Amino acid sequence: MSILTPNRFSALILMAWLTLLTGCGINTIPTLDEEVKAAWSQVENQYQRRADLIPNLVETVKGYAAQERETLTAVTEARAKVGSMQVDQSIVDNPEALQQFEQAQAQLSGALQRLMVVVERYPDLKSNQNFLALQSQLEGTENRIAVARRDFIQAVNRYNTEIRTFPGRIWHGILYSDLDIRETYEATTSNASEAPQVNF
Protein backbone atom coordinates (compact mmCIF):
# COMPACT_ATOMS: atom_id res chain seq x y z
CA MET A 1 0.00 0.00 0.00
CA SER A 2 1.48 3.33 -1.03
CA ILE A 3 1.56 6.31 1.22
CA LEU A 4 0.37 9.68 -0.04
CA THR A 5 3.28 12.04 0.03
CA PRO A 6 2.70 15.79 0.21
CA ASN A 7 3.66 16.11 -3.47
CA ARG A 8 1.21 13.39 -4.55
CA PHE A 9 -1.49 14.85 -2.36
CA SER A 10 -0.92 18.32 -3.89
CA ALA A 11 -1.02 16.83 -7.38
CA LEU A 12 -4.31 15.06 -6.62
CA ILE A 13 -5.80 18.25 -5.20
CA LEU A 14 -4.64 20.19 -8.28
CA MET A 15 -6.14 17.58 -10.64
CA ALA A 16 -9.43 17.58 -8.70
CA TRP A 17 -9.49 21.40 -8.79
CA LEU A 18 -8.83 21.50 -12.55
CA THR A 19 -11.53 18.89 -13.16
CA LEU A 20 -13.96 20.95 -11.11
CA LEU A 21 -13.06 24.13 -13.03
CA THR A 22 -13.61 22.56 -16.45
CA GLY A 23 -17.17 21.64 -15.52
CA CYS A 24 -18.16 24.82 -13.70
CA GLY A 25 -18.53 27.24 -16.60
CA ILE A 26 -15.20 29.04 -16.50
CA ASN A 27 -15.11 29.00 -20.32
CA THR A 28 -18.78 29.84 -20.84
CA ILE A 29 -18.35 33.62 -20.92
CA PRO A 30 -15.65 33.70 -23.64
CA THR A 31 -17.58 31.07 -25.60
CA LEU A 32 -20.75 33.17 -25.50
CA ASP A 33 -18.75 36.30 -26.34
CA GLU A 34 -17.50 34.57 -29.49
CA GLU A 35 -21.07 33.51 -30.34
CA VAL A 36 -22.17 37.17 -30.14
CA LYS A 37 -19.36 38.18 -32.50
CA ALA A 38 -20.17 35.35 -34.91
CA ALA A 39 -23.88 36.23 -34.87
CA TRP A 40 -23.07 39.88 -35.61
CA SER A 41 -20.83 38.79 -38.50
CA GLN A 42 -23.81 36.97 -39.97
CA VAL A 43 -25.94 40.12 -39.67
CA GLU A 44 -23.22 42.08 -41.50
CA ASN A 45 -22.96 39.33 -44.11
CA GLN A 46 -26.66 39.54 -44.93
CA TYR A 47 -26.59 43.35 -45.07
CA GLN A 48 -23.66 43.10 -47.49
CA ARG A 49 -25.62 40.64 -49.63
CA ARG A 50 -28.47 43.14 -49.81
CA ALA A 51 -26.11 46.00 -50.65
CA ASP A 52 -24.61 43.93 -53.47
CA LEU A 53 -28.04 43.33 -55.01
CA ILE A 54 -29.15 46.96 -54.99
CA PRO A 55 -27.09 48.34 -57.94
CA ASN A 56 -28.50 45.67 -60.28
CA LEU A 57 -32.02 46.30 -59.02
CA VAL A 58 -31.70 50.06 -59.48
CA GLU A 59 -30.30 49.66 -63.01
CA THR A 60 -33.13 47.32 -63.97
CA VAL A 61 -35.79 49.69 -62.64
CA LYS A 62 -34.03 52.70 -64.20
CA GLY A 63 -34.54 51.26 -67.66
CA TYR A 64 -38.31 51.16 -67.17
CA ALA A 65 -38.95 54.02 -64.79
CA ALA A 66 -36.53 56.81 -65.63
CA GLN A 67 -38.98 59.43 -64.39
CA GLU A 68 -38.76 57.96 -60.87
CA ARG A 69 -35.35 59.56 -60.40
CA GLU A 70 -36.09 60.75 -56.82
CA THR A 71 -36.81 57.23 -55.56
CA LEU A 72 -33.84 55.74 -57.38
CA THR A 73 -31.58 58.45 -55.99
CA ALA A 74 -32.86 57.82 -52.44
CA VAL A 75 -32.03 54.11 -52.75
CA THR A 76 -28.58 54.82 -54.18
CA GLU A 77 -27.79 57.42 -51.51
CA ALA A 78 -28.99 55.18 -48.68
CA ARG A 79 -26.83 52.35 -49.99
CA ALA A 80 -23.84 54.70 -50.26
CA LYS A 81 -24.35 55.86 -46.67
CA VAL A 82 -24.40 52.28 -45.42
CA GLY A 83 -21.35 51.44 -47.50
CA SER A 84 -19.37 54.39 -46.16
CA MET A 85 -19.72 53.35 -42.52
CA GLN A 86 -16.67 51.74 -40.93
CA VAL A 87 -17.97 48.48 -39.47
CA ASP A 88 -15.95 45.77 -37.78
CA GLN A 89 -16.29 43.41 -34.81
CA SER A 90 -15.83 46.26 -32.33
CA ILE A 91 -19.25 47.66 -33.27
CA VAL A 92 -20.93 45.16 -30.92
CA ASP A 93 -19.04 46.82 -28.05
CA ASN A 94 -20.12 50.34 -29.03
CA PRO A 95 -23.87 50.93 -28.54
CA GLU A 96 -23.82 54.34 -30.29
CA ALA A 97 -22.06 52.99 -33.39
CA LEU A 98 -24.39 49.97 -33.45
CA GLN A 99 -27.42 52.27 -33.29
CA GLN A 100 -26.07 54.51 -36.08
CA PHE A 101 -25.42 51.46 -38.25
CA GLU A 102 -28.92 50.11 -37.66
CA GLN A 103 -30.44 53.54 -38.43
CA ALA A 104 -28.58 53.64 -41.75
CA GLN A 105 -29.82 50.12 -42.52
CA ALA A 106 -33.38 51.18 -41.63
CA GLN A 107 -33.12 54.13 -44.05
CA LEU A 108 -32.00 51.74 -46.77
CA SER A 109 -34.90 49.40 -45.99
CA GLY A 110 -37.34 52.32 -46.24
CA ALA A 111 -35.88 53.43 -49.57
CA LEU A 112 -36.20 49.88 -50.92
CA GLN A 113 -39.83 49.72 -49.79
CA ARG A 114 -40.55 52.96 -51.67
CA LEU A 115 -38.82 51.51 -54.74
CA MET A 116 -41.07 48.44 -54.62
CA VAL A 117 -44.13 50.74 -54.50
CA VAL A 118 -42.85 52.53 -57.62
CA VAL A 119 -42.43 49.20 -59.40
CA GLU A 120 -46.15 48.52 -59.01
CA ARG A 121 -46.81 51.32 -61.51
CA TYR A 122 -44.91 49.54 -64.30
CA PRO A 123 -46.50 46.24 -65.39
CA ASP A 124 -43.76 45.60 -67.98
CA LEU A 125 -41.10 45.91 -65.31
CA LYS A 126 -42.99 43.60 -62.95
CA SER A 127 -42.92 40.90 -65.64
CA ASN A 128 -39.23 41.41 -66.55
CA GLN A 129 -37.28 38.22 -65.74
CA ASN A 130 -34.21 40.09 -64.46
CA PHE A 131 -36.34 42.19 -62.16
CA LEU A 132 -38.28 39.17 -60.90
CA ALA A 133 -35.04 37.33 -60.13
CA LEU A 134 -33.58 40.35 -58.32
CA GLN A 135 -36.80 40.94 -56.42
CA SER A 136 -36.84 37.30 -55.31
CA GLN A 137 -33.21 37.48 -54.18
CA LEU A 138 -33.88 40.70 -52.31
CA GLU A 139 -36.92 39.22 -50.55
CA GLY A 140 -34.85 36.18 -49.58
CA THR A 141 -32.10 38.45 -48.28
CA GLU A 142 -34.56 40.46 -46.18
CA ASN A 143 -35.69 37.18 -44.61
CA ARG A 144 -32.06 36.21 -43.96
CA ILE A 145 -31.45 39.60 -42.34
CA ALA A 146 -34.40 39.00 -40.01
CA VAL A 147 -33.08 35.55 -39.07
CA ALA A 148 -29.54 36.88 -38.55
CA ARG A 149 -30.86 39.68 -36.32
CA ARG A 150 -32.87 37.15 -34.32
CA ASP A 151 -29.80 34.96 -33.87
CA PHE A 152 -27.75 37.99 -32.79
CA ILE A 153 -30.41 38.99 -30.24
CA GLN A 154 -30.45 35.44 -28.85
CA ALA A 155 -26.63 35.30 -28.64
CA VAL A 156 -26.53 38.63 -26.79
CA ASN A 157 -29.28 37.42 -24.48
CA ARG A 158 -27.35 34.24 -23.58
CA TYR A 159 -24.14 36.21 -23.05
CA ASN A 160 -25.77 38.92 -20.89
CA THR A 161 -27.64 36.33 -18.85
CA GLU A 162 -24.44 34.38 -18.20
CA ILE A 163 -22.49 37.34 -16.86
CA ARG A 164 -25.40 38.49 -14.69
CA THR A 165 -26.26 35.14 -13.08
CA PHE A 166 -24.45 32.61 -10.89
CA PRO A 167 -21.83 31.18 -11.45
CA GLY A 168 -21.05 33.32 -14.50
CA ARG A 169 -21.21 36.48 -12.40
CA ILE A 170 -18.36 35.16 -10.25
CA TRP A 171 -16.20 34.24 -13.26
CA HIS A 172 -17.00 37.59 -14.86
CA GLY A 173 -15.84 39.44 -11.74
CA ILE A 174 -12.66 37.38 -11.37
CA LEU A 175 -11.50 36.69 -14.93
CA TYR A 176 -13.60 38.55 -17.51
CA SER A 177 -14.35 41.95 -15.99
CA ASP A 178 -13.16 43.57 -19.24
CA LEU A 179 -16.18 42.08 -21.06
CA ASP A 180 -19.20 44.36 -20.65
CA ILE A 181 -22.92 43.79 -21.00
CA ARG A 182 -23.76 43.96 -24.71
CA GLU A 183 -26.45 46.03 -26.34
CA THR A 184 -28.87 44.08 -28.46
CA TYR A 185 -30.53 45.02 -31.74
CA GLU A 186 -33.46 47.37 -31.32
CA ALA A 187 -35.85 48.63 -33.94
CA THR A 188 -34.77 52.12 -34.94
CA THR A 189 -38.16 53.63 -35.70
CA SER A 190 -40.99 54.20 -33.29
CA ASN A 191 -43.50 52.54 -35.63
CA ALA A 192 -41.31 49.55 -36.51
CA SER A 193 -44.01 47.15 -35.36
CA GLU A 194 -46.44 48.51 -37.93
CA ALA A 195 -46.45 47.31 -41.52
CA PRO A 196 -45.69 50.05 -44.06
CA GLN A 197 -48.79 51.47 -45.75
CA VAL A 198 -48.90 51.51 -49.52
CA ASN A 199 -51.24 53.88 -51.32
CA PHE A 200 -51.79 54.04 -55.07
The one-letter amino acid at 63: G
Let me know if residue 107 belongs to a domain: yes
Residue 119: per-residue pLDDT: 86
Count up the domains in the chain and report the number. 1
Query: 168 CB contacts (<8 Å, ≥6 apart)?
Result: 25, 28, 29, 161, 162
Let me know if residue 126 belongs to a domain: yes
Residue-wise pLDDT for 24-75, tens only, equals: 678 899 999 999 999 999 999 999 999 999 999 998 888 888 778 888 899 9
Give the residue from 60, 142, 66 showing the smallest Cα distance to 108. Answer: 142
Let me know if residue 31 belongs to a domain: no
Residue-wise pLDDT for 89-113, tens only, equals: 888 888 888 889 999 999 999 999 9
> How far apart are the C-alpha atoms of 153 and 183, rounded to whole Å?
9
Q: Is the pLDDT of residue 124 over 60?
A: yes
Residue 198: per-residue pLDDT: 33
- pTM here is 0.76
Let me know if residue 17 belongs to a domain: no
The stretches of 66-128 forming alpha helices (DSSP H) are 69-84, 95-119, 123-126
Let me know if residue 28 belongs to a domain: no
Let me know if residue 197 belongs to a domain: no
Specify the range with the lowest mean pLDDT, choosing from 15-24, 82-91, 128-137, 146-155. Answer: 15-24
Let me know if residue 164 belongs to a domain: yes
Residue 163: per-residue pLDDT: 94
Residue 9: per-residue pLDDT: 76
Let me know if residue 123 belongs to a domain: yes
**Which domain does 148 fall in, by range?**
41-174
